[in-house]
Amino acid sequence: MAKPPYVVLLGDVGVGKSAIFEQLTGLTGRSGHAVTSTTLTSEIAESWDGRLIIADTPGANAMDDNFEHCLHIAQSMNIRPVTCVLLVVRADHRMDNVMSNVRKYAERFYTNFPSNLFGVCVTHMDTVTWTEHDFLLHVKEE
């Protein structure tokens, strides 16, 4: 029997990685509305339907304990073969800020993963006027 795909959630502090993890796994208590990172370690769990294994990671841009956060991210990337790195970014009024964030992570990780293993999830889309279609056009141009 084949193992379920392994997805690693990656991104800055406060973008919604843990909220996505909670929705996909049914687990609670990881997400928060704090100024600093509330996710201090990685957690790996099966999705509620058993079709995915998901790793929630600390924010890669944490102000405190940045080395430790990066260590947890590295461990999540090496615990088993990664099927997909899902970059989670928060929507911003200025789409170029979001694109800058995607670029920052793509420069670090995209070259290490084939394009079909690297995805982007934009959270908080209800706070902006631009659409998914607008964003995808910019991503394709890059």
Span 80-135, pLDDT tens digits: 999 999 999 999 999 999 999 988 888 877 666 666 788 899 999 999 999 999 99
Nearest to 110 by CA among 97, 99, 119: 119
pTM beyond 0.95: the answer is no
φ/ψ region of 128 (left if φ > 0, alpha if ψ in -120 to 50, else beta) reads beta
